């Protein structure tokens, strides 16, 4: 799920080729289109080497030739040929299990959403029902995929704790799931066997914002997600912070006010009891059946009430602890925090400035997601695409080639 890190392993030369091929594809994936000249400077390799790598990616059907882009350098000299993601290249399925709906998309390299579909999800629904619904959505989005395009994998964003070792959903409060192997359920419902990766929604939101959202080029960021609970995805040094079990970033249960209200986790005064969906809903007298759509409710909100201002301050105060702990360059406010911040940004900023230490405060910026509500969805696509960016040849070997036929067969 996170980018590959150096282990204690040595590097042999076939690893060099794999790495360079993957890195080149990662650059094109991130930028959309690049000239070969830009690639030589980015990667520090010789022109001729780049030519060889590009040729191999084109032969694999992953990249394709593009006319020199106008945006590149203008001046004397032969214009450099462009490289871009192939139109009918490999793709992944991205799934975003939201609070009240599931969104499924067919996503190609470059983060391009080719087709999307969604269906409502009832809270407390059985996992196999949700799995069947997701499988049906997957069939829909796969329907019109180019025949030659292989399926590389499925990425799923889950609002809950996902075990890192095997992707088991340990706990998803909104869905009332405990220890659900949702990846296996979806595969079974599809009748396919492809690589499935699962991740926490905030983690994936952070990943997407880092790759192609508001934080491109920012290597230390935190995506704080207000969903029903509160969680954070942390990218530090360009790498997703996952923790030993994969549960890092559970900031919703930071100790906030020991004399505060009881939290469903059994303690008292967790941050979530002040800035969680239920707390906000109460503060703005939102009807209980609309809590799942709190972001929309807040977006339609007029003038912020004093209660909402207090919530904004509490948000800022909690962010201060996070900023002191992680010293990020950017904090992205996702989920319903996006709408909340637009209403009470002054209070949030002031709350942050009140409690944060000067050193980490001076360099931090609060922003909104560059991808809107699609961050977790595109993050799910990213983790599914990751093998392709580590070793394109191996990932394509493992990919499913005749998806269209297989999925149609099962559906019929």
Partner DNA sequence: CGTTCATGTTCTGCCGCACAACAAATTCAG
Partner DNA sequence: CTGAATTTGTTGTGCGGCAGAACATGAACG
Residues in contact with DNA by CB under 7 A are: 10-14, 16-17, 20, 35-37, 40, 44-53, 68, 73-81
Please choose, out of 4-12, 95-103, 125-133, 137-145, the segment that lies near its own copies by the rule CB under 8 A: 4-12
In whole angstroms, give the CA distance from residue 248 to residue 252: 11
Q: Which does 259 bind (CB under 5 to 8 A by kind): DNA, its own copies, none?
A: its own copies
Tell which one of 66, 81, 188, 241 touches its own copies (CB under 8 A).
241
265 binds its own copies (CB under 8 A): yes
Neighbours of 280 (CB within 10 A): 25
Smaller CB separation from DNA, 61 or 79: 79
Tokens of 56: 């191999």
Smaller CB separation from its own copies, 2 or 345: 2
167 binds its own copies (CB under 8 A): no
Residues 3/219, Cβ–Cβ less than 8 Å: no
Phi, psi dihedral angles at 62 (to 5 degrees): -100, -40
Q: Which does 26 bind (CB under 5 to 8 A by kind): DNA, its own copies, none?
A: its own copies
Please choose, out of 70-78, 109-117, 193-201, 352-360, the segment that lies near its own copies by the rule CB under 8 A: 352-360
212 binds its own copies (CB under 8 A): no
Q: Which does 261 bind (CB under 5 to 8 A by kind): its own copies, DNA, none?
A: none
In the window 32-91, what residues touch its own copies (CB under 8 A)?
42-45, 49
Site size for its own copies (CB under 8 A): 70
Smaller CB separation from DNA, 68 or 360: 68
329 binds its own copies (CB under 8 A): yes
Neighbours of 163 (CB within 10 A): 16
CB of 317 to DNA, least distance (A): 50
Smaller CB separation from its own copies, 150 or 249: 249
258 binds its own copies (CB under 8 A): yes
Smaller CB separation from DNA, 53 or 196: 53
In whole angstroms, give the CA distance from residue 177 to residue 179: 7
CB of 54 to its own copies, least distance (A): 12
Contacts of 250-255 with C-beta under 8 Å, sequence gap 24+, read: 250/161, 251/224, 251/318, 251/321, 251/322, 252/276, 254/318, 254/321, 254/322
238 binds its own copies (CB under 8 A): yes
CB of 48 to DNA, least distance (A): 3
Angle at which helices 13-31 and 36-43 cross, to 10°: 120
Residues 143/111, Cβ–Cβ less than 8 Å: no
CB of 310 to its own copies, least distance (A): 13
Please choose, out of 59-67, 118-126, 191-199, 356-364, the segment that lies near its own copies by the rule CB under 8 A: 356-364
Tokens of 307: 């209660």
> What's the number of CA atoms in the CB half-sphere (13 Å) around residue 183?
23
CB of 115 to its own copies, least distance (A): 30
Q: Which does 129 bind (CB under 5 to 8 A by kind): DNA, its own copies, none?
A: none
Residues sharing a CB contact under 8 Å with residue 265, sequence separation 6 or more, in sequence order: 253
Binding residues (CB under 8 A) for its own copies: these are: 2-6, 8-13, 16, 19-20, 23-24, 26-27, 42-45, 49, 161, 170-171, 219-220, 236-239, 241-251, 253-259, 265, 267, 317-318, 320-321, 324-329, 354-355, 357, 359-360, 362-364
């Amino acid at each position: 799920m996170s980018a590959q890190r150096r282990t204690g392993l040595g590097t042999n030369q076939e690893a060099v080729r794999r790495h360079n091929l993957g890195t080149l594809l990662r650059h094109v994936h991130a930028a959309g289109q690049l000239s070969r000249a830009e690639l030589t400077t980015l990667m520090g390799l010789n022109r001729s080497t780049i030519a060889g790598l590009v040729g191999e990616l084109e032969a694999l059907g992953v990249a394709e030739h593009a006319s020199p882009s106008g945006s590149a350098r203008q001046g004397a000299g032969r214009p450099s040929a462009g490289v871009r993601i192939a139109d009918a290249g490999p793709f992944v399925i991205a799934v975003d299990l939201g609070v009240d709906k599931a969104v499924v998309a067919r996503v190609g390299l470059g983060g391009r959403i080719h087709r999307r579909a969604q269906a409502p999800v009832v809270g407390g629904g059985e996992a196999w029902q949700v799995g069947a619904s997701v499988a049906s959505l997957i069939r829909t989005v796969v329907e019109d995929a180019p025949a030659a395009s292989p399926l590389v994998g499925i990425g799923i964003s889950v609002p809950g704790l996902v075990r890192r070792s095997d992707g088991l959903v340990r706990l998803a409060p909104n869905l009332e799931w405990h220890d659900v192997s949702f990846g296996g359920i979806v595969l079974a419902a599809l009748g396919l066997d492809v690589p499935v990766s699962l991740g926490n929604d905030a983690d994936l939101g952070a990943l997407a914002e880092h790759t192609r959202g508001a934080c491109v080029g920012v290597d230390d960021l935190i995506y704080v997600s207000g969903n029903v609970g509160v969680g954070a995805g942390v990218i530090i040094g360009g790498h997703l912070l996952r923790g030993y079990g994969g549960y890092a970033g559970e900031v919703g249960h930071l100790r906030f006010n020991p004399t505060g209200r009881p939290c469903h986790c059994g303690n008292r005064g967790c941050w979530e009891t002040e800035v969680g969906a239920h707390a906000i809903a109460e503060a703005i007298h939102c009807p209980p059946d609309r809590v799942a759509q709190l972001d929309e409710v807040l977006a339609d909100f007029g003038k912020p009430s004093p209660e909402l201002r207090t919530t904004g301050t509490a948000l800022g105060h909690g962010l201060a602890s996070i900023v002191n702990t992680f010293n990020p360059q950017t904090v992205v406010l996702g989920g319903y925090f996006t709408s909340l911040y637009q209403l009470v940004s002054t209070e949030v900023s002031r709350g942050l400035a009140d409690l944060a230490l000067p050193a980490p405060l001076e360099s931090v910026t609060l922003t909104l997601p560059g991808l809107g509500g699609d961050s977790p969805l595109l993050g799910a696509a990213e983790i599914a695409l990751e093998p392709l960016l580590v070793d394109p040849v191996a990932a394509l070997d493992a990919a499913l080639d005749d998806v269209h036929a297989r999925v149609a067969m099962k559906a019929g």
